[in-house]
């Protein structure tokens, strides 16, 4: 599944969207791979805002057997923030990685969590 975000978003927008996504879990497979194309997205999110995502990280970890999210970014500041967020996730079920190209994102999504090719 691929989602394109090309508007201004806040940390509250992200939290609300993640909660809605998790609420719709019963309609989604237990293993989910997602590409978020945020190359045209703008935001006021800062490092201090990432603490607000801890609750939703736990929610996502509990809801999915596997959730892999590839985020496409082309802004160095957003990339750095996303990479810090990636390090805050302490789960064996939820993985997020930042990419600059669709090809790299899709290659990563095609691999299992241990780096081997998916079957």
Average pLDDT by stretches of 10, the chain with 119 residues? 91 89 68 91 90 83 86 93 89 90 94 49
Phi and psi at 114, nearest 5°, equal -100, 5
Domain-embedded: residue 119: no
Supply 67's token pair: 């959730």
Residue indicated by tokens 């290659």: 107
117 lies in some domain: no
Q: Where does 1-119 have alpha helices with state H?
A: 11-23, 54-63, 76-88, 102-109
116 in a structural domain: no
Picking from 35, 51, 44, the residue whose alpha carbon sits closest to that of residue 13 is 44
What is the pLDDT at residue 71?
Answer: 96
Domain that holds residue 83: 2-109
Q: What pLDDT score does 118 carry? A: 42
Q: So what's the pLDDT on residue 25?
A: 64
pLDDT attached to residue 29: 61
Residues in the chain: 119
- Domains of the chain: total: 1
pLDDT score at 26: 63
Query: Does 55 fall in a domain?
Result: yes
Q: Looking at residue 117, what is its pLDDT?
A: 45
Contact 3, 36 (CB under 8 A): yes
pTM: 0.83
Residue 74: per-residue pLDDT: 93
Strand, helix or coil at 39? coil
In a domain, 105, yes or no: yes
Instruction: Say how many C-beta atoms besides its own lie within 10 A of residue 95's C-beta.
Output: 17
* 67 located within any domain: yes
Q: Residue 65, CB half-sphere, CA atoms under 13 Å: how many?
A: 6
Q: Give the pair of three-digit tokens for residue 55.
A: 């609750």
């Amino acid at each position: 599944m691929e989602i394109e975000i090309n508007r201004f978003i806040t940390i509250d927008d992200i939290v609300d969207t993640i909660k809605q996504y998790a609420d719709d879990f019963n309609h989604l497979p237990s293993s989910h791979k997602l590409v978020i194309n945020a190359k045209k997205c703008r935001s006021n999110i800062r490092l201090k805002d990432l603490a607000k995502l801890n609750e939703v990280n736990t929610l996502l970890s509990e809801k999915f057997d596997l959730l892999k999210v590839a985020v496409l970014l082309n802004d160095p500041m957003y990339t750095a923030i996303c990479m810090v967020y990636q390090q805050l996730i302490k789960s064996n079920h939820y993985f997020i990685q930042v990419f600059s190209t669709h090809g790299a994102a899709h290659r990563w999504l095609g691999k299992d969590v241990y780096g081997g090719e998916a079957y």
